[in-house]
Chains A and B, each alone.
Chain A
Amino acid sequence: MSFFAPIITAFPTLMQATLTTILSSIAGIILAMVFAIPAGLGRLSRNTVIRSVSSFYVETIRGTPLLLQLVVWYYGARILLLALFNFNVDVAYFNFLTALDANTLYPAEGSVSGIFFAVFGLSFNYGAYLAEVIRAGILAVEGGQTEAALSLGLSRWQTMRLIVLPQALRIMVPPLTNNFITLIQDTAFFEVLGVYELSLQTYTYVQVVSSVAIRWQYFAFELIIYFILCYGLALIARRFERRNGQSPTHRSLWTAWMPFRTSRLVQH
């Protein structure tokens, strides 16, 4: 057992770092959808101003690498906010916790501004990619559907909500989950900003040992954890797709996301 002693010693810390990875990727996915839905719908808008603003966002973000964006958010935006508005994320978070009388929640070492700007930058980046997915999904729904709905007297919003989105959502699921998987992988970029998530935590352990065998232990452990996270999501998504494809019932926008068979619940 002495061969595995380093990894056993490091296990609790690495698990905590894994938790950071999981939580920040969940937060990133939610925030990315918040950016993506207005941008994706905005690219299809009839209003030129809205369309060009969202196109600018999508094209600019998709054209530059994530690493550069993260560096700009952290070393740029943080300092800019400090210099101009005297706004410090760490102090703001500390004051927020003080107001809640929960100062013990503040991390003992390090700061929160790293993870704040990391999650924000990552979601801002993925918002652009997901916006393209949403746009492509909506465009993939046949135009005749919209025309028929409009001629039946539905309003544009009703057409979107009742006719287009339920069909588009089913088309969007595979590319969306692919993007979510790469988002989980890209949380490894947080190590550039000094966030102690799985990859940086492992790398700090790796850097202090010179034995190749021990280094491989750490890396193998890390890669296995990432593989379990990403492949697990892929398997869930595949199962979801298969079941969604099988089901002959008409699914509404809301029931399509439910994690169980809804044909008994919803009578169409």
Chain B
Amino acid sequence: MVKRIPAPVRFAGVAAALIVIFGACSMFLLGAMDIYQTSQTGNLFNPTVLLSHTLHFLQQTWYALTIATDRAGVPYHEYLLLGVGLTIEFCFISMPLALILGFVLAMMSRSRARWLRTPARAFVEFFRNTPLLVQMLAIYSALIFLPPSLLNAFTAGVATLVLNYAAYECENIRAGLEAIDIGQSEAAQVLGLSQLQTTRLIIVPQMIPIILPPVMNDLIYMYKDSSILSLITVIELTQASQNMGHNSPNLQWQAYLLAGAIYLLLSLPLARLARWVEGQIKSSRLGARTDLTSAALLTLGVMVLVGLFCGVLEVGLTFGNIVDAFGELIAAIGLSVAIMVFMMALLGGLVGIPQALWLFIRRPHDVDSGAAEGQGQAGSVAVMPK
């Protein structure tokens, strides 16, 4: 056995190794970028050259953050701020809508009626198994017969994010609902609560702590996925950094690095926050006395309002802009729900009609008990034996 190295020495060694690895790598990277941007020639393995280029790069970064402007005199930090604002707007508006539609889809896919269950399942499977990017392009460029007030970059972007994430949230919520003991809803019905009351007072409050971690995770995913909206002319953070790079090519790398840093600075605390909320809600401090259903709905409403407020701040805080933002929100909700209903009808028809025919041919006498079997799987009330 080798003699154990004393702790302070080991600590110093580890610190030195980390500094050498991270410091040297980042200095080489920044120096190389700076050499490329200033179109000079220099040997990076010369320490003086390396240090001067690294420092110059950092200085340029600070310059880009503070006083650098484009030709029209718009400072670059405004580019980035507007980009962050739009990103937050899209996320905070889309996530609550996706959760609500996902809840509807989950209830539909747990329903005993086949004509509700099949379309919901078909919709969810279709939207989970096709790329978000293609869905967005399809909605934006193949629905052009709609008037521009109903289909523009904002509504198309929100509708895409909502529809895609509704499918994912449906799966989360379904898993959450299935994790709840069936005795809970049976007991509630025995006590005389209606279906709606059972859902509101018994099921949803128990479901929320279960689904909260994956939902928060999905919010972070959506926050990153919203970068694809740059392809339909929404100038969010990624597009803003690209514009910045186009407008002054000698700040291109600074633009990319700043955008990446902003994404990191927002998503890492969000992950920590998710873990904190999870802990809070699991401990009985919050769970026991709060009406979780109302609290959740309130949170979702506040999120939408914050998103709208971000959007209004982008264009200026006037009464007309606020009214416009609400109008656009309503248009986006209408578009999402319309596409969802249409797709459910289409896909449900494509899957459901052959399925019903097949069942009818195979067992003409008990089509209904087939539905009962499926309902037994979904498991809300036990099936009575004949």
Q: Which residues of A contact B (CB under 8 A)?
A: 48-49, 52-53, 56, 59-60, 62-68, 71-72, 75-76, 79-80, 83-84, 181, 185-189, 191-192, 199, 202-203, 206-207, 212, 215-216, 219, 222-223, 226-227, 230-231, 234
Task: Say whether A185 contacts B131, CB under 8 Å.
Answer: yes
Given the known A-B contacts A192-B231, A230-B129, are A64 and B264 also in contact in the complex, defined by CB atoms under 8 Å?
Answer: yes
Residues from chain B with a CB closer than 8 A to the CB of A71 are 238, 242, 256
Task: Say whether B36 contacts A65, CB under 8 Å.
Answer: no
Binds A, one of B132-140, B206-214, B319-327: B132-140
Residues from chain B with a CB closer than 8 A to the CB of A79 are 36
Task: Say whether B129 contacts A226, CB under 8 Å.
Answer: yes
User: Is the contact region of chain A dominated by helix, strand, or loop, or is it mixed?
Assistant: helix
**Interface residues as binary, B251-267 with A (CB distance below 8 Å gives 1, 0 otherwise):** 01100100110011001
Given the known A-B contacts A60-B264, A223-B134, are A206 and B141 also in contact in the complex, defined by CB atoms under 8 Å?
Answer: yes
Task: Say whether B137 contacts A68, CB under 8 Å.
Answer: no
Task: Say whether B133 contacts A188, CB under 8 Å.
Answer: yes
Q: B36, B137, B245, B253: which contacts A84 (Cβ < 8 A)?
A: B36
Residues from chain B with a CB closer than 8 A to the CB of A68 are 227, 238, 241, 256, 259-260, 263
User: Besides A72-B256, A234-B129, 16 other CB < 8 A contacts?
Assistant: A65-B225, A65-B227, A65-B263, A67-B238, A71-B242, A76-B256, A79-B36, A80-B36, A83-B36, A84-B32, A199-B131, A215-B141, A223-B130, A226-B130, A230-B129, A231-B129
Residues from chain A with a CB closer than 8 A to the CB of B129 are 181, 185, 226-227, 230-231, 234
With the chains together, A79 CA to B18 CA distance in Å? 29
With the chains together, A72 CA to B259 CA distance in Å? 11
Residues from 266 to 304 in B contacting A, C-beta threshold 8 Å: 267-268
Residues from chain A with a CB closer than 8 A to the CB of B231 are 192
With the chains together, A203 CA to B140 CA distance in Å? 12
Q: In the complex, which range does the number of interface residues on chain B fall in?
A: 35 or more
With the chains together, A136 CA to B35 CA distance in Å? 41
Task: Say whether B238 contacts A49, CB under 8 Å.
Answer: no
Residues from chain A with a CB closer than 8 A to the CB of B227 are 65-68
Nearest to B137 among chain A residues (CB) is: A203
Task: Say whether B225 contacts A199, CB under 8 Å.
Answer: no
With the chains together, A72 CA to B141 CA distance in Å? 27
Given the known A-B contacts A49-B21, A80-B32, are A212 and B144 also in contact in the complex, defined by CB atoms under 8 Å?
Answer: yes
Task: Say whether B134 contacts A188, CB under 8 Å.
Answer: yes
Task: Say whether A212 contacts B142, CB under 8 Å.
Answer: yes
Q: What are 15 contact pairs spanning A and B, CB under 8 A?
A: A52-B18, A56-B22, A59-B268, A62-B267, A64-B267, A67-B227, A68-B227, A68-B238, A68-B256, A189-B228, A191-B133, A212-B144, A227-B129, A230-B130, A231-B125
Nearest to B44 among chain A residues (CB) is: A84
Residues from chain B with a CB closer than 8 A to the CB of A202 are 134
- What is the minimal beta-carbon distance from B41 to any residue of chain A, in angstroms? 10
Residues from 1 to 29 in B contacting A, C-beta threshold 8 Å: 14, 17-18, 21-22
Task: Say whether A65 contacts B224, CB under 8 Å.
Answer: yes
Which of B32, B36, B134, B144 counts the most A-chain CB atoms under 10 A from its CB? B134
Given the known A-B contacts A84-B36, A203-B137, A219-B142, are A64 and B130 also in contact in the complex, defined by CB atoms under 8 Å?
Answer: no
B309 at the interface (CB under 8 A from A): no
With the chains together, A212 CA to B142 CA distance in Å? 6
Residues from chain B with a CB closer than 8 A to the CB of A186 are 131
Task: Say whether A189 contacts B260, CB under 8 Å.
Answer: no
User: Is the contact region of chain B dominated by helix, strand, or loop, or is it mixed?
Assistant: helix
Residues from 32 to 89 in B contacting A, C-beta threshold 8 Å: 32-33, 35-36, 39, 44
- What is the minimal beta-carbon distance from A83 to any residue of chain B, in angstroms? 4
Task: Sort A-B residue pairs by CB-CB distance and give the 7 closest, nearest first.
Answer: A65-B227, A230-B129, A185-B131, A188-B131, A65-B224, A63-B264, A219-B138
Task: Say whether B260 contacts A49, CB under 8 Å.
Answer: no
Q: A63, A189, A227: which contacts B268 (Cβ < 8 A)?
A: A63
With the chains together, A231 CA to B242 CA distance in Å? 35
Residues from chain A with a CB closer than 8 A to the CB of B39 are 83
- What is the minimal beta-carbon distance from B122 to any residue of chain A, in angstroms? 11
Task: Say whether A67 contacts B130, CB under 8 Å.
Answer: no
With the chains together, A65 CA to B226 CA distance in Å? 9
With the chains together, A222 CA to B133 CA distance in Å? 12
Q: A63, A181, A192, A215: which contacts B263 (Cβ < 8 A)?
A: A63
Residues from chain B with a CB closer than 8 A to the CB of A76 are 33, 252-253, 256
Residues from chain A with a CB closer than 8 A to the CB of B17 are 49
Residues from chain A with a CB closer than 8 A to the CB of B144 are 212
Task: Say whether B33 contacts A80, CB under 8 Å.
Answer: yes
Given the known A-B contacts A49-B21, A192-B231, are A84 and B238 also in contact in the complex, defined by CB atoms under 8 Å?
Answer: no
Residues from chain B with a CB closer than 8 A to the CB of A80 are 32-33, 36
B230 at the interface (CB under 8 A from A): yes
Residues from chain A with a CB closer than 8 A to the CB of B32 are 80, 84
B126 at the interface (CB under 8 A from A): yes
With the chains together, A90 CA to B130 CA distance in Å? 31
- What is the minimal beta-carbon distance from B271 to any residue of chain A, in angstroms? 8
Residues from chain B with a CB closer than 8 A to the CB of A212 are 142-145
Task: Say whether B134 contacts A219, CB under 8 Å.
Answer: yes
Residues from chain B with a CB closer than 8 A to the CB of A181 are 129
Given the known A-B contacts A76-B256, A223-B134, are A206 and B242 also in contact in the complex, defined by CB atoms under 8 Å?
Answer: no
With the chains together, A188 CA to B134 CA distance in Å? 7
With the chains together, A79 CA to B143 CA distance in Å? 38
